[in-house]
Structure 1
Amino acid sequence: MDYEKSAGIFFLVLGLIFILFPMFSTELVSIIVGLSLVFFGISAAFMGYTLKDEQREVAIAIIIIGIISMIIGLLFIFYINAIAFLVAFEFYIVGFIMILFGIVGLISKVNRISNFTSILVLLMGIVAIALGVFAANNPLYLAIIIGVVLIIEGISYLLSD
């Protein structure tokens, strides 16, 4: 079985879990968001460390954002119970961190590609905050929407050549 078919089956099963057990899926989202923040924090801290000789102030800001991201990620993984309203909180935190990272990237002005990616990160941060607003109002619906998206993605993988 090739990668696309395996991924398709995985996404289908995961999508069904999100739809059938939305409270369980909020815990899963908490762990996934936590892992994402930890890995983002590691990469941001490393990027800040590599910039320390060129742009000291920007490097310090990026390292601080990375460390804060790692700490919050570990909290989401190990200490915060994924009650439905916390899913919205997670989106707010991730959105805020992405907006900060985008602003720091725009201020640093390393090159055109960096500016473009900083704008994308900034926009994705705004989208994450908007999802947080939606999740605060309808946390179980958010899990169902994620489940539907996973099922659609799974079907597209299964139907791909």
Structure 2
Amino acid sequence: MEPNKLAGILSIILGLIFIVCPVLSTATLSIFIGLSLIFFGIALVVSGFTAFNIIIGILAIIVGLVFVFNIAALSFIFGIQFYVIGIILVLGGIVGLVSDSGISKIASVLIIILGIISFALGGFSIEQPLFAIILIGVALIIEGIGLYLIEV
């Protein structure tokens, strides 16, 4: 089986698991990200005793521990990410409307609308932590279908 088709099938399966079992998926993903950050922080601290490596390593370890012991931190980070993307899209759309760039006015309005939608998704993600995991599940399914249908 081609690698793209296999990756597509695995992505669809993982997306369905995220949608069907969002609580378990949130906990697993949060713990996995936390452990990754902890190991990354330890590797940074022991790789070189520069001030930068030690500071970033300690911060990575602290954030990793937060993810391992506080599952809600993951949805908070997703919410913040949606907020930042929303703000950037709205500002980019406004710049497209008022400038004489090559961006059409319709595209700029659509970018502003997408920014507002992204901002709303951030609010939903912070209010309801499982919302972010369900969005990830849907994204994985869409990506999996795309990977499966791609001809190499």
TM interval, shorter chain, is: 0.5 to 0.7
The aligned runs of 1:8-23 (5 Å cut-off) are 8-19=8-19, 21=20
Residue in 1 that maps onto 2:75: 91
User: Pick from 124, 127, 133: which aligns with 1:137?
Assistant: 127
Counterpart CA distance in 1 for 2:82 and 2:46 is: 27
CA contact (8 A) 1:41 1:65 kept: no
Q: Percent identity?
A: 30
Does 1:59 find its partner at 2:53?
yes
- Number of residue-to-residue matches in the alignment: 115
Shift of 1:45: 2.6
* TM-score, normalisation: structure 2: 0.58
CA contact (8 A) 1:40 1:66 kept: yes
Counterpart CA distance in 2 for 1:16 and 1:65 is: 33
Note the residue ranges of structure 1 that are not aligned, 5 or more in a row. 81-85, 96-123
Deviations along 1:80-119, one digit per CA (max 9) or x if unpaired, are 6xxxxx3xx3233xx4xxxxxxxxxxxxxxxxxxxxxxxx
Compared with structure 1, are the counterparts of its residues 61 and 128 closer, same or farther at alpha carbon in structure 2 (3 Å cutoff)? farther
What residue identity is the alignment partner of 1:33?
S
Task: Please report the RMSD computed on the Cα atoms of aligned residues, expressed in angstroms.
Answer: 3.0
Does 1:159 find its partner at 2:143?
no
* TM-score, normalisation: structure 1: 0.56
What residue identity is the alignment partner of 2:63?
S
Larger radius of gyration: 2
Note the residue ranges of structure 2 that are not aligned, 5 or more in a row. 85-120
User: Pick from 31, 36, 40: which aligns with 1:34?
Assistant: 31
Deviations along 1:43-72, one digit per CA (max 9) or x if unpaired, are 2331233331xx33x333223213223433
